[in-house]
Structure 1
Amino acid sequence: MKIQAKSLVDTVAERLEEAIIGGELAPGERVFEQVLAADYGISRGPLREAIRRLEGRRLLERTANKGVRVVDLSPERLEELLQVRESLEGMAARLAAGQIGDDEVGELRKLLETHQETSLEKGYYQQSGDFDFHFRIVQASGNGFLISLLTEDLYDLLRLYRYKSSTMVGRAEQALAEHHAIVDALAAHDPDAAEAAMRTHISNARTHARMALERAEAEAASTAEG
């Protein structure tokens, strides 16, 4: 399907992001400008700009003599990233518990109701921006440096890893229950409980993400042998 221009570079960047997050473009896969330009029905100029944007967001990587590739979801990178995420988002939940308002808590509960209705059948995949449960809690922390780290520098990689973990059987229901526990702690304005609930949630997500990567590697090896 060819893309109709609105803001063409924005549209192409969104399409590439969806392809990466959803697995249409596989981890480590090389991105060929000529092929994508033909697929999207656009010239290579807007495509190159979109690629540069996703390089800046760490979803694409450019290396000498190898061109542009989708970020590689190695177990080592996963472990490093989720260690950082557990600490930073635990801190965000702790800070948010001390100052979040009743209206914000109510909005989080409504958000989880929406997730219950729309997200569980296909895996508990978070959309970007204000729809994202984690994004809202980070914003509620009120700490500018923490917000910048989690919503700019690490945000897209975190979404990518969260999507991979959410596709494991049984994880969607478990993740939703963990989100409810986090909101309950925030509503009680209990910093210790909020941080503990968030850390538990992310630790479980790390386990499921690791399992998803191991499964993908096993399937790839089986396909290669066949």
Structure 2
Amino acid sequence: MTRTEELFLALRQQIVEGKIPHGHKISEPELANQFQVSRSTLRDALARLKSIGLLVSQPNVGYSVISLSTEHLMEIFYVREALEGMACRLAASNITQEQLQNLRDLLESHESSVQLKSGVAYIQEERDLDFHFVIVQASHNPMLIDLLCEKLYFLVRMYRYQFGMVSDRAKRAFFEHQHIVHALSVGDGELAEFLMRRHISASRDNVERNLLVNKGVIS
């Protein structure tokens, strides 16, 4: 792994977890000193972070962490509903038996979670341990995989992480995942797309309601 890759991964994690706060102006000299890297290595890492939507830049100003907002989050939900619905339709035709079994195993591991059993949260780890990530991969469509698993994925995780994982939809979301897997297992692309779109739409409505109740959580 190159020094640029190591730095990119470290900064990505800090931004997702809020250790570098959203809206924060990036100080290149400070980060270069902290990580003991050259400015060119740092700039390569920062450019990659911008390419996946975690940073923005302005001429003569430099890089800043993206500012989180309710409006931006809702935009992401609408994009996810359309694109993940399409990915789910394609996965119904393209998913391998190994990927299907991985999804079943994943849900089985999720079901044993203490937080899910108590109905307070549905926590998923990153990438191959994330239900939505696995389904997009199973679409076998390179453009969708790039858009959803690279360019949007960690932005979505940033919102999840910094909003918290508590949800009164935890058990319902898990049951919806089970229905989606069943549609994939019988190769019903139309049903799989419908269920995924409805699932993401319900999550969006739930988040929006919670934000209205808990005003001030995010600007």
TM-score range, shorter chain: 0.7 to 0.9
What is the aligned partner in structure 2 of residue 3 from structure 1? none
Partners of 1:177 and 1:197 lie apart in 2 by 11
Distance in 2 between the 1:220 and 1:82 partners? 16
Displacement, 1:45? 3.8
**Is contact 1:85–1:202 with CA below 8 Å preserved after alignment?**
yes
Letter in 1 for 2:126: Q
Aligned residue in 2 for 1:145: 143
SS at match of 1:167: coil
Aligned to 1:58: 53
Q: What letter matches 2:105 in structure 1?
A: K
Alignment of 1:106 onto 2:106: no
1:143-178 per-position Cα deviation (integer Å, ceiling 9, x unaligned): 343333323443333333444566234354443333
* C-alpha contact (below 8 Å) 2:124/2:130 kept by paired residues: no
Q: 1:144 to 1:43 in 2, by over 3 A?
A: closer
Q: Residues 16 and 92 (structure 1 numbering): CA distance in 2 closer, same or farther, change over 3 Å?
A: same
In the superposition, relative to structure 1, how do residues 200 and 169 fare at CA in structure 2: closer, same or farther (>3 Å)?
A: same
Q: Percentage identity across aligned positions? A: 40
Q: Retained in 2: the 8 A contact 1:124–1:167?
A: yes
Change (3 A) 1:50 1:115: farther
CA contact (8 A) 2:53 2:66 kept: yes
Structure 2, unaligned runs of 5 or more: none
CA contact (8 A) 2:54 2:66 kept: yes
Consecutive unaligned residues in structure 1, runs of 5 or more? 1-5, 222-226
Matches within 5 A, 1:21-100: 21-100=16-95
| Distance in 2, Cα, partners of 1:73 & 1:220 | 7
Return closer, same or farther for 1:172/1:32 CA change in 2, 3 Å cut-off: farther
TM-score for both structures, normalised by structure 1: 0.77
Structure 2 match to 1:196: 194
- Between 1:23-32 and 1:169-178, the stretch displaced more is 169-178
Partner Cα separation in structure 2 for residue 73 and residue 9 of structure 1 = 26
Which residue type is aligned with residue 182 of structure 1? I
Query: Does the C-alpha gap of structure 1 residues 211 and 72 become closer, same or farther in structure 2, counting only changes over 3 Å?
Result: farther
Give the TM-score normalised by structure 2.
0.80
The size of the alignment, in residue pairs, is 215
Give the residue type in structure 1 aligned to 2:75.
Answer: E
Distance 2:34 2:114 in 1: 29
1:27 counterpart SS class = coil
> Equivalent residue of 1:98, what SS?
helix
Residues of 2 paired with 1:109 and 1:168: CA distance? 24
Distance 1:12 1:196, change over 3 A: same
Given candidates 133, 136, 140, the residue that maps to 2:134 is 136
Q: Deviations over 1:107-154 (max 9, x none)?
A: 1111223344569488624413x3332222122223343333323443
In structure 2, the partner of 1:224 is none
Question: Structure 2: how far apart are the matches of 1:215 and 1:141?
Answer: 37
Partner Cα separation in structure 1 for residue 132 and residue 64 of structure 2: 27
Which segment is superposed worse, 158-167 or 21-30?
158-167
Residues 10, 173 of structure 1: alpha-carbon distance in 2 compared, 3 angstrom cutoff: farther
Q: 1:148 to 1:119 in 2, by over 3 A?
A: farther
Instruction: Give the distance between the partners of 1:166 and 1:219, measured in 2 at CA.
Output: 10
